[in-house]
Amino acid sequence: MNVHGSFFYSLDKIKFSGRIRRAPANFQGSFFNYVSTWISLRLPAGYDLVNAGESLAPFRYRYWYDIRKKDDPEGTFHIEQSYNGDFKETRQIPEAFQVEFNPNKSGAIVWESFCGYFAFTVSEVKKFDIAYDLPGADLREVHIDTKADIMKYGKTSCQTLYIAPKAETGRVKVYQKDEEREAKGQAIEKTLRIECTIRPRTIFRTSDLVTPQDLEPFATAAAHLNAVKIRAPTVDTSDDWKLFALSRLSPGDLEKALSMMDAKTKAKYRKQLLTDADTVSLNLDPFTLYAHSIQLLKPWIERQKI
């Protein structure tokens, strides 16, 4: 288990592209059919092809497939093969493929099967989700301290907060993981999840040489992750009844109450509520977030041909 302060972190989803270098010798047919042949003959027991399609559009892959374990819609393994080309590369590239799945779900077994039957390299990690979990925390204790767009989704009893919901990189989701799992019939301890989608702009480097360009998307992501403040249920309010009352409001009601104050008073209480010694945040710098990502993505980074 990976640990950062009071938080546990993990890889929640990954999307990457690569090139097949060699298929098993007993796979017959043209190179175009290698992935299709693997799906037809070599899928793990209990897994099925549930959807498939074809496209001739540029910037797309010609063939795509969804593979899933029976009765497990969360574990979908999505793979595309044979890049159609684009304005710079007009020829079709049949050995090119792209994969998207959650390595914590049952789709990971399909990925292991793919690795067992093909020699390949990873060309690029296109995007991934990194998740930070705080055991015992409650969404009702969360305050979002940011100038970025904020969106709320879902019922009050089971709500998800979004920071920068339309951003290509650095979009953050905050939700009660135990309630989300309970809805799926699974019981886990009370856990607050803070999840961020990152689109790296360069090939990952495992060396100490990290450029400002490497860190740029991680700076945005770190700022949005740090905007999530988990307030203690109570604070030291012995000499200020207003602070006592404000500390017990939900994030939505707190924002409403602060909006009714003049600028000076609002700044005063916002600072007191969000800088209290018992307030918890991820407190990430871009390089630390980059290092966490390197650690989680190591199996894919090692397959990159740089």
- Average the pLDDT over 158-178 and give the result: 93
List the single range of 68-77, 180-189, 248-257 with lowest mean pLDDT.
Answer: 248-257
Q: Which has the higher per-residue pLDDT, 45 or 186? A: 45
Q: pLDDT value at position 207?
A: 60
CA 177/CA 196 separation, integer angstroms: 14
For 5, 15, 58, 292, the CA distances from 234, given in Å and listed in that order, are 21, 41, 57, 32
Q: pLDDT value at position 1?
A: 74
**In this model, does residue 305 exceed pLDDT 70?**
no
- Average the pLDDT over 262-276 and give the result: 78
Q: pLDDT value at position 110?
A: 97
Q: Which of 96-105, 134-143, 238-247 has the highest mean pLDDT?
A: 96-105
Q: pLDDT value at position 258?
A: 85
pLDDT band at 153 (very low <50, low <70, confident <90, very high): confident
Q: Which has the higher per-residue pLDDT, 23 or 65? A: 65
Q: What share of the chain is helix, strand, coil (3-state, %, to 5)?
A: 30, 35, 35
% of the chain surpassing 70 pLDDT: 89
pLDDT band at 278 (very low <50, low <70, confident <90, very high): low
**In this model, does residue 118 exceed pLDDT 60?**
yes
pLDDT band at 52 (very low <50, low <70, confident <90, very high): very high
List the single range of 79-88, 162-171, 205-214 with lowest mean pLDDT.
Answer: 205-214
Helix, strand or coil, per DSSP, at residue 141: helix
Q: pLDDT value at position 45?
A: 94
**In this model, does residue 28 exceed pLDDT 90?**
no
For 56, 108, 121, 122, the CA distances from 91, given in Å and listed in that order, are 12, 32, 20, 20
Mean confidence (pLDDT) of the chain: 87
Express each pLDDT in 91-108 by its tens digit.
889 899 999 999 999 999
Q: pLDDT value at position 48?
A: 95
% of the chain surpassing 90 pLDDT: 54
Count CB neighbours of 204 within 10 A.
19
Express each pLDDT in 198-236 by its tens digit.
999 777 766 667 888 889 999 999 999 999 998 765 545
CA 73/CA 273 separation, integer angstroms: 41
**In this model, does residue 166 exceed pLDDT 80?**
yes
CA 289/CA 50 separation, integer angstroms: 36
Count CB neighbours of 161 within 10 A.
21
CA 110/CA 78 separation, integer angstroms: 10
Q: pLDDT value at position 227?
A: 95
List the single range of 42-51, 72-81, 149-158, 233-242 with lowest mean pLDDT.
Answer: 233-242
Q: pLDDT value at position 251?
A: 66
pTM over 0.95: no
